[in-house]
Amino acid sequence: MQICRHFVSQLIRSVALLAIFSTVAVQAAEKRDLIIDTDPGADDVVALLLALASPQELNVMAITTVAGNVRIDKTSRNARLAREWAGREEVPVYAGAGKPLVRTPIYAENIHGKEGLPGVQVHEPKNPLAKGNAVQYLIDTLGRAAPHSITIAMLGPQTNLALALIQAPEITQGIKEVVVMGGAHFNGGNITPVAEFNLYADPDAAKVVLASGVKLTYVPLDVTHKILTSDQRIKQIEGLNNEAGKLVSSILNEYVKADMVHYGLPGGPVHDASVIAWLLKPELFSGKLINVVVDNREGPGFGQTIADWYDTMSQPKNVFWVENGDAQGFFNLLTERLARLK
């Protein structure tokens, strides 16, 4: 009887060990090579901190910057600030396009402030930009990458990737998937009644990326406007009592004011960080594969994403459209990862 009990307890132990190792193996297997293309920007900085605080799942190879919320010199400075605040100064920052492909440039200083970072003091980070332009970095890196190995998170206008695809269309070989913060359908727009800012700022670039045939996921206003701050959610971040918690709560408190007034909402969205949360915990979100086209014609529909949610036109399904998300799950993830930073 004694031998039998020992055997059973050994069996339970080995099954438990197997379960632990297989979980670790699954986690390790899911690690992504990631390039973040961004126009920091308040919510971009929160997204960068979330990504840089998650090295087990995300190998952030580089940050590439683009003009958008503010001009390229400030988006590039703010990207360097975010990596400094995250203690990840080994990650190179490459500056990219200073203006859209075709349209006249627009900015969002009314939302993100003159420095592109509301609620906090900015300074000149000690570590400089990497040498070379972001577009060339994308061409070189994606061109020589293992097949379909690199994920690109697009948190601003898609100008850099569009320029790279125009110059070297073969770079799609290195792209695993592109996850875009952008677009709007059920929610309506935030820069016009129908257009979301990133698409409106460079719809021609978005059309180039759509036409490239890469695996595309959009994280539009339809979902980001369901993942809103609240006093309690900002307090849980502030309550971390570390530098990162102070920075993010100060940034968000300032950043969300405009949206709360404009939409009459009890809180504001953290658009770009929702893309990183999707990469880290896709189970927090839901959506479906649909057909999406972008309107780049001058007029009231300029920059609109026409999202065929009900498949009315029976066109090829070219985008996974994220339409819903678990707001508290998002803020718990954000808080847990910011706790890892200084």
Annotated catalytic sites, by residue?
271
Cβ-based nearer residue to Ca ion, 117 or 135: 117
Q: Minimum CB separation from Ca ion for residue 173, in Å?
A: 27
What does each C-alpha distance from 69 to 1, 40, 176, 200 come to in angstroms? 72, 7, 27, 12
Question: Do 65 and 71 meet the contact criterion of CB atoms below 8 Å apart?
Answer: no
Q: Which of 211, 246, 241, 232 is nearest to 316 (CA)?
A: 211
| Nearest-approach distance from CB 223 to Ca ion, in angstroms | 15
Q: Which does 196 bind (CB under 5 to 8 A by kind): ligand RIB, Ca ion, none?
A: ligand RIB
Q: What angle do CA 223, 279, 29 make, to 5 degrees?
A: 155
What are the CA-CA distances from residue 220 to residues 62, 114, 242, 325 (Å)? Answer: 24, 25, 31, 11
φ/ψ region of 115 (left if φ > 0, alpha if ψ in -120 to 50, else beta) reads alpha
Q: Residue 224's closest CA among 185, 254, 262, 253?
A: 185
Q: How many whole angstroms separate alpha carbon 334 and alpha carbon 27?
A: 18
Nearer Cβ to ligand RIB, position 66 or 163?
Answer: 66
The residue (of 174 and 249) whose beta carbon lies closer to ligand RIB is 249
Q: What's the token pair of residue 58?
A: 């995300």
Q: At its nearest, how many Å lie between Ca ion and the CB of residue 182?
A: 9
Residue 190, binding choice from ligand RIB, Ca ion, none, Cβ under 5 to 8 Å by partner class: ligand RIB
| Contacting residues toward ligand RIB, per CB under 6 A | 39, 41, 43-44, 68-69, 108, 155-156, 181, 190, 196-198, 271-272
User: Which residues lie across from 32 on neighbouring strands?
Assistant: 58
Least distance from ligand RIB to the Cβ atom of residue 149, Å: 25
Nearer to Ca ion, 198 or 291 (CB): 198
Closer by beta carbon to ligand RIB, 222 or else 272: 272
Q: Closest approach of Cβ 222 to Ca ion, in Å?
A: 17
Query: Least distance from C-beta 108 to ligand RIB, angstroms?
Result: 6
Closer residue to ligand RIB in complex, CB, 174/220 = 220
The radius of gyration of the chain's CA atoms, rounded to the nearest angstrom, is 21
Q: Which residues bind Ca ion (CB under 5 A)?
A: 39, 41, 44, 155-156, 272
Measured at CB, which residue is nearest to ligand RIB? 197
Rounded distance, CA 48 to CA 311, Å? 34
Task: Determine which helix (DSSP H) or strand (DSSP E) holds 332, and give its type and residue range.
Answer: helix 327-338
303 binds, among Ca ion, ligand RIB, none (CB under 5 to 8 A by kind): none
Spatial CA neighbour of 99 closest among 159, 166, 39: 159
